[in-house]
Each structure stands twice: as structure tokens, then as C-alpha cells.
Structure 1
Amino acid sequence: MSQAPAAKKLLILGAGVGGLSVIKEIAEFDSAAAILDKIDITIVDEDFSHFLGFTLPWVMRGWRAPDSVPIRPTEAALNRVNRVTGRVSSIDPQRQQVTLDDDTTLEFDALILATGARNAVDRVPGLADAVAKGVAVHYYDHDAAAEAHRALSGFTGGRLMFLVTSPVYRCPVAPYEGAMLAADLLEATGARAATEITAYTPEVQPMPSAGPYAGVELVEFLRQRGISFHAEHQVVAVDAARRVVTFDNGAEAGFDLLMFIPPHRPAVTIGDEDWISVDTATMATRHPGIYAIGDTTTVTTPWGRSLPKAAAFARNGAVSAARSALHYLGIVDRTEELSGQGYCYLDTGAGASSRGAGDFFAEPPEIHLSSPTAELNRQKSDEEHQWRALWETERPVLR
């Protein structure tokens, strides 16, 4: 009697929105049960804790405690998935092998990278010194967001600068959402009238990948809240002693408190690659059997802009990568192209949110921001509740 063929090894690196969405996508296949008999799924993560990026400004505003933000999948939710806790050290595409920091090696037949991006504060001269001296803060992890809340809560007035340090960063609305929520908080503490709030970015306008309209509408939101916007200002250095930011166009701007969006770097790379380029038809990298999704990738849209590093596109990428990996393994008969349909909520303060949605692959996109409402704010909260409920549960996602 012949033996059944050995299960193919599907390795997923990263248990954040992208990696978990791959598992969710496989669970939603019509033939999921038959597929699971043919593959052995392993997922690797440093601590099996992630968060939705839009919850961090809530911590900065003081609406959420930092320990309420992490989402930790239960063992039951990840039933039929091998969990490996560790940090990726290297990927060998030829040997089809991943090595972790503790020298553990994991082999794969197909690999999906969903490892995201890391903050890299030290890439701007003087920025780490400003953080150490307590004159600069950011809100791009939950502990930092809590520190930003403390700094804003104690701010009594002066120059409050929001600074985008690089055009490549997660969540394209977060700098401007942060500025509006800071204004909202300072209204509550009584310091808003004594505070000048400015926003500086190297971009031509906010959200350039969303097309010609949304960024203009966002600048108007800022203007209505008394926040001045300065485009095409790329920081080259921060002087903590003088509390001055220097830009590549020779301009300088002073601050009393600097709120910055950190430079970003890919958390995991393959060889000497930087942000990983992928084929939008399959999410394939240049290495056979290896796919990448989410914030670790760079995707150029048909009209020449980079696709935003946002959760919506990590989910879209998971749909494409899951099908592509299973097709590569000979388990499904078709692939699916990356969808350009995306959306983003934008908190504007006073319990209201705006929303922009549309096709980011259009030439150009015709995305507009809606008027802020309390209902959109509730929808944004519901999105987190639904995602959390899917993974912090005793109900298996794969059955």
C-alpha cells in the first residue's frame, strides 16, 4: 500500500495583521479541510503580540492604557498551526531555510514574510539625544505612546511640532491624526490657546498615494483646527540643546516639544535587500516560493506612487500570498492579484472620525475624506473589537 505524500511545509514569519490574515484566508477557502490535510503550517513571531496601528494615537490621547492595546492570539485560535517563538536572524532562499537568533533552523517548501517594519530613531542625527533629554517623543509603539501622553498632558504651552522624518512610514494619516488629537487633548487641559502646533513632512502633501484630493482635504482639517502644515521639508538633524530641527532645504524650525514619526526599517530582509519588492499579481519576491506582504514590502502603484503601509493592504496581500503559496505547492489551481481597494479612518478629535476609501491602483485614485462623524468613530472601534475577538478566543480559526 502506497503512503500518502508528506505534507508540504508552509512557513509564515510574523503573527501580526498580515501573518494572521494568511491563516484567516486559508480558513475561508471552500476546500479548507482538504488543504489542511496537505500542508503543515508554522508561524514564527518574537512574542505573539501585535496591535492595530490606529490604537496608538488613542494611547497618546489618553483614551486607552498601553497594556490594553496588544492582541495576543490564544493557542485555541491557532489550532492546527505550529507556533515558534523567536526572532528571525537570516533567510536562505536556496536551502529553503530560516535561522532564528538562537540558531534554531526551520525548513520550508513555501515561505510568507509578514514581519513588518521597525522604528529606527537613530537614523536621524540628534533625534535619539532629543528623546533622551525628554524634548522629543513619538507614538509608534504602545510604551512610547504612553510617554507621549504624559508629555502632552504636562505641556503648558509653546511650540508643539509634529515631524515626519521619512516619506516611508506606517499608517499615512497617523502624523496628522496625532496633531489633531494633541490639539483635542490640549483643549481639555486648557493649554491649547497657548500652543502653536505645526506639522512638517518631506511629502508634497499628506497621503500622496491616495491621489490629488484626500491630502488637500486633510490639510483643510488641520487648518480648521489651527494647525499649520509645511510640505517638502526633509529633516537632516535635530539639535536637542537648541530645540531646533534643520531641513535639507536650509530652513530651521524651533520647538518646545517635538512629536515625531520615527524613520522605519524592514524588520527582516533577504540577503542585502532593503524593503522587499514583490510582484503585485502574486506577492512573489525574486526568490521562488517566497512571498512577502504588508509593511516589509514596497509596492509601486500603476501611477507611480508607493502603496501605503497600512493594515488594509496587509490583509489584501494575505489574500494574494496565501493563494500564491498554495498554488506554488500544487494545492490550489489559481492565484489572485493584490487588490488596490483600501481605506483608512482618521480621528479628528471630539469623538469623531473621517474615512477615506477607494482604489489605490486607479490612475490616479479619486479618494476623498468624508466629513467626520461619531458613527465613523464607532466603526473604527468596532474594527478593533472584531479583529481582537477573532484571535483572543477559544474558537479555532482553522478547523
Structure 2
Amino acid sequence: MRRVRYGIFFAGLLASSPLLANTSWQQTEAQARGQTVWFNAWGGDPAVNRYLDWVSGEVKRDYDITLRIVHIADAADTVKRIQTEAKAGRTHNGSVDLLWVNGENFRTLKEADLLKTGWAEQLPNWRYVDVQKPVREDFSVPTDGAESPWGSAQLTFIARREQTSQPPLSAADLLSFAAAHPGTVTYPRPPDFTATAFLEQLLLVLTTQPDALKLPPNAETFAEVTAPLWAYLDKLHPQLWRKGTDFPASPAKMDAMLANGTLRLSLTFNPMHAAQKVASGELPKDSYSFGFRKGMIGNVHFVTIPANARSPQAAQVVANFLLSPAAQQRKADAAFWGDPTVLDMQKLPEPWPEVTSEQTPAVLAEPHAAWVNALEQEWLRRYGTH
């Protein structure tokens, strides 16, 4: 028995050795050469699309991987495609190799066992990741190595200094601000992602039972937990643009309305969005970001690999490149994209030069992923027919 124990001990020692891990990664890179990765990613922002074009050129040059970007409007559409393939028995050669995902869509795929697991923390560039960020859970759902973090995000307001020198810094302030400037405040129509995040933000700061949000909603307590949110919206809506009878289709529409003076506030889920849009000339130069004094809801967004991916090795190499200091630095720079990094600056081999950034408020953890659908459905029931 002693020999067996020693054998197990030495096997474990070898498995954890950097040399063996490095050899394993070299094998992954070798298998990845010549493969094509079909990367399904949200295509709604030109800056994001330009960045992904740059990534495509880098991985082609350095790893001989052909990266095909499939621009999608909603990750839920890709989730349905993966589910359809699974129902048809397509366990190999799937149409998706890599997917930009988080939250409810990740939970749906993970619970159906449709994702490759256990790979993310084996990526060489994981050593640079800031593990103080929520990189091991996604909307309270453990990732189990099925997602590699890609960027940070946080709900953020945008205003113009010429119009709004003193922004509202709490939910109560926002209500007073809307009443003082009727018709100039609004939010996107749910189920837009940013709209739902706005509902979650308000619920988080208004509810008397915040701990209930860490678990899926309970049918018996849902009305009680959410009552302060609906009472608040009932007061807010009459002060909004078009008196809350209509809502912009997207944050991009709100940006345009802010730029032309119709609105005093816009919304985004990227704290560096305003800086990036000012740099590109899409928002006026006096645009700035802000959040509530006690914090704003935030998360990490990830890339994941379906269990039936055609090129899982190349997908891992691309995910590892997305975590590299060079790729993360370029992504964080508002001149290119302005998407905050998931890396720990203290872990980097050399410091970054200064990049354009924004001061951000404290990050509030998002509710459990199951709250997304519950809040959207109740909002539509209450306000969707207006």
C-alpha cells in the first residue's frame, strides 16, 4: 500500500509541475495550428468589431489559426443553436467553437452540460488574472473552469457637463433629478441587457431583502422582495421621456439622444464607454461617466467553448491570447475599445504605459442569473403594454 501511496504522490507532483503543464500546452498549440475557430460575438459596436479584426490578424500570424467572427445580436440566439445541435445528436463538429457569453446564457448551457469544463484555469495566461474579481462565478453560478474571463463591466451613467454639472448619485437623487428635468431621463426597454441591469441595480439598492437576490427568485416571496422596485418605477415613469409610455430600443439610441440634447443621461454597461465614444467623436467632448455613491452593479464577461466544438484546441489558444497582457492592454485603451481588464496589474511581467481610463464606483455583485427573466417578465406585465 505504501508503494501505491508514493506512486500517487509522485503522479500528483508531476501533474502539478510547470514543466509538464508547459509540455501539455505546447501540444495544445501544436494541435491548434491550421484549425479554424468560429467565434460568435456580439457585433453591435464598431470598436469591438475592429478589435476582433485585430485579434484575428494576431492569432493568424502567431498560431496559424483562422479566426472567423460571427457577429450576433444576442448570445441567446447562439445558445439556441447549440441546444438544437445537441438535440439532433451533433456531439462533434459543432458550428460554434468560442462564444462571448455570461449570465443567464451561461447558466442555460452549463445546466444542460453543453460546455467544455475544467480548461480555463489551465490557460498559461490565467496566472495574470485578478482573482479578486468574480472570475470563478457568473451571476452567482460557479464557472467550474468552463469560462475564461475576458473583460470587466459595470452599469454606468453618462452625462454632459454643459447640461449636468451635478449628477444624481443615488436612486433617490435620480427620482428628484427626473422630476426637476421632466422628459430628459429614460432607460432602454427591457429585455435589453442594459435595461435589465438597470432594474437589477434599482432592486439591489431599494429592496429590504438584498440577500434574497443571491438565490433564484422564490414565487412565495417575489412580490415582497420586488415591491420597492415597482413602487419606485411607478413614481419615476411619469417623469421620463414620453412620460414612460415608450422607451428607447437600445443604449446606442440613448447616446444619440444625449448627443442631440434630448436626454440629459445615457446608460452603458462599460465604464469606459463615454471616453471611447468621445475619442471616436460619437459623443460630445464634455460627456463623462458617473455612478451611484454606494456603488453600481458589475460583472465579468467571458468566453466559453461548447462541448461539441469542432476546434477546441484552437479555441483555447484564442482564449489564452485574449488574456495576454498585450491583448488586454489594447482592449482597455479607450482609443481602441475601452473595455476594462480582468488582469491584476501587480502580476504583470512589466507595467503598462498609461491608457485612457475612467474612475469607477464600487462594484456591486449581480443577483443570481434566474432574476433576469423574472424581472423582465414582471416589467413587461406591468409596463410593456403602454
* Larger RCO, structure (CA 8 Å, separation 6 or more): 2
More strand by share: 1
More helix by share: 2
